[in-house]
Structure 1
């Protein structure tokens, strides 16, 4: 098949997940660049043993996944491929993915990015893993953005400047927005792409991950919300309305009259509406309940971003595992 394909994998302390990730790319890509972010579990040695080129980031500088991906892209620039597979170190590629995605991009010269179905490896372990699995199940067809796993045309990604190094979250949708502005399309295939291991077994992990999403919404809206795409403006507003304004009105109103607390009934009523709209089964109730509850950490993420802006400082990573 025409067109060379290389891969950039990023990770830190992924252990056996990284070994499985690198093994899954055997025979699918020409070369692999692994970008390590301060691992202490032997990941660098394991990557080299698997035949990957290794870039060890200088951790004296603030780390972001976007910075790691850019470092991998720079390593490939000396012998640029036609396509690059971006992958997180806690994922494994489906054996047919690269050939399927490559053929689709060759047939569609208007597209710069193609992604497929990412699945959770252990959805049965926790409700939070199941929620992540449902989150990855986006509609096939033209898309506004991809996630961390995707096959991309190498040249357009470099032409728009790659990822924004300073984003601690939401770097893929931001890159896709700039690609779209440059005239490129993004497509989601109905094809198996990767298996991911979120390893979320605690409520606190889900809470931090959801707070990070709120931060991404706020920063994305601050960067591009004034544009015609209204990038993440609606998501930011929903987070603030349901996660900050509504509880504030209830608590402050209760200082005048306890009946104001009835405003909080909007939460279970919204969960009921969402659950019934999604079919009313167990999965629908789980998604509905955590969608509504998630507006609290999302609001904290939004407010945290703006508080940092007021103080003139950038937020550090919000990690959940």
Structure 2
């Protein structure tokens, strides 16, 4: 009889998934969209954490949520009450999300329109760890009631995670959970992993978690290169010497962009268009994606890849016939 041929199906599937995930990661970086892949066992508190986190950040960033469940919309309905964009991915029996599923979710929600997207993966400590979703960061939740031995039982999950959130720490006083022993085990698997101790019930540790998120998103937006479509009209066109340009901008805000644009004589356009209080001078107009921008706080809006900026002077009418 002939030799039996062995085909490594899993290896091929993971290799294809990794390629798609890397493409997603590059696109998200170019779009300046920070994506968190939240993983945990069922009931560890992913949704509760989001319900605590979103209200703290939704006025600073455009936030979206992709909810994944085998057959339910319960969590998505809770998230919708926060007022952010949310879609449901029903996996139909799959115990994890892969890069193809996430790609569909990102396309459906319109990922380039968001600064921060949370993916709430299916509750499972095994399969989600094996599939790269293309997310910017992997964040794992481990609740105190689950016990401190999980790094011994599910080492891969801790290894692939960038952040560990120890949730439900309000139970520490009534359990034999050894926090020091857990951290020792985790650091052996993933030296340098970021750890937060959080209670969504009491709010403990939420400040530190939110501050980290805010810093990470801001860093991405400040270091990513964005291609902007900039139009100069009337007096501004005469100052800068051009009418339209595609600018590769590595800054973050509209104010920073105006500072980087120089006039023909080398002067920053910011000193020409912006007054001492940081608002647009009355003789000029700044438009972002067909909307006028006047106040200082509006000039601090983070720019997105592909944004359209119009810089122009006001039309002056003379009296008389």
TM range (shorter): under 0.3
Higher helix share: 1
Q: Scaled by the length of structure 2, what TM-score is found? A: 0.28
Q: Scaled by the length of structure 1, what TM-score is found? A: 0.28
Higher strand share: 2
